[in-house]
Amino acid sequence: MTKNIKITLGLIYLLCLCLILYGFFIFVDVSQLNNYSYIRDKTQFLIDVRDQNLILFTIAYVFFVIIWILLLGFASPIALVTGFLFGKFFGTIISVLSFTFGCTLLYLFANQFFKDYITDKFLTKITKFKELFNKNEFYYFMLFRFAGGGGIPFAIQNVLPVIFNMKVKNYFFSTLIGLLPTVFIMCAIGSGIENIIQKNIDPSIFTMIQNKEIFLPIIGFFVIIIFSLILRFYYFKR
């Protein structure tokens, strides 16, 4: 890839990221994030906008999430917000589909323009997994996703298969299935927080822990973390 193309892509990336951050800081006063009334009013505003036109709001939100993932954004906070806005079941569908499309687009983009860089950067660290992935790339990448990537940051998870030259179809569906359990748990927690706020209950840690809509997903979240640690120890320490 030529230097001019790299500069152009970098500028586009920075522009999109700045626009998202600008929109966030216009909408949110960071100094008020510890103010429960402020948070309740802002979340109620989003819920009102959603209720006015659910279809248009959903389409716009899905588009935003796909772009966010394409820009190497975090997934867990988005899943929480999605569960808050759309509920645990509908929110899970929206999140998983948006994440999967965003990840796949990022994979295609990275494979096209940054394959050499990614290979040089990470190949020596994961050489022992190449043969494993070549045996059954769909199964092992799905397991990798399910385990939260073994502690690897989400953005890096999305581009690592470039090294293995993974088929796009296998990448898409293994991501779709592999992300489902974790995303469902995060959306369930977000939905539980929304129910607490709607009932005007003080959202203290103690109150949330007592709420089974939050407590049970948190248990599930820790189960996945434990599984991730076991998988990471088993594969990364061998």
**Which of 49, 47, 63 shows the shortest CA–CA distance to 102?**
63
For residue 7, being part of any structural domain is answered with yes
For residue 116, being part of any structural domain is answered with yes
pLDDT of residue 145: 85
Distance CA 49, CA 141 (A): 38
Q: pLDDT, tens digit, for every residue of 3-23? A: 666 667 667 767 777 777 777
For residue 210, being part of any structural domain is answered with yes
Q: Which of 15-19, 87-91, 127-131, 210-214 has the lowest mean pLDDT?
A: 210-214
- Segment 111-133 mean pLDDT: 73
Is the pLDDT higher at 112 or at 78? 78
Enclosing domain of residue 115: 3-26+36-236
Give all strands (DSSP E) within 29-144, no chain letters: none
Which of the four pLDDT bands, split at 50, 70 and 90, describes residue 83? confident
**Which of 161, 142, 130, 128 shows the shortest CA–CA distance to 236?**
128
Number of structural domains (the chain) is 1
For residue 31, being part of any structural domain is answered with no
Q: pLDDT, tens digit, for every residue of 130-152? A: 666 777 788 888 888 887 776 77
For residue 111, being part of any structural domain is answered with yes
For residue 60, being part of any structural domain is answered with yes
- CA 43 vs CA 27, 50, 168, 187: distances in Å: 11, 11, 37, 16
pLDDT of residue 99: 94
Distance CA 79, CA 187 (A): 5
Residues 6+ apart with CB under 8 A from 231: 143, 147, 150
Q: What is the pTM of this model?
A: 0.79
pLDDT of residue 3: 62
For residue 164, being part of any structural domain is answered with yes
Q: Indicate the SS3 state at residue 127.
A: helix
Which of the four pLDDT bands, split at 50, 70 and 90, describes residue 164? confident
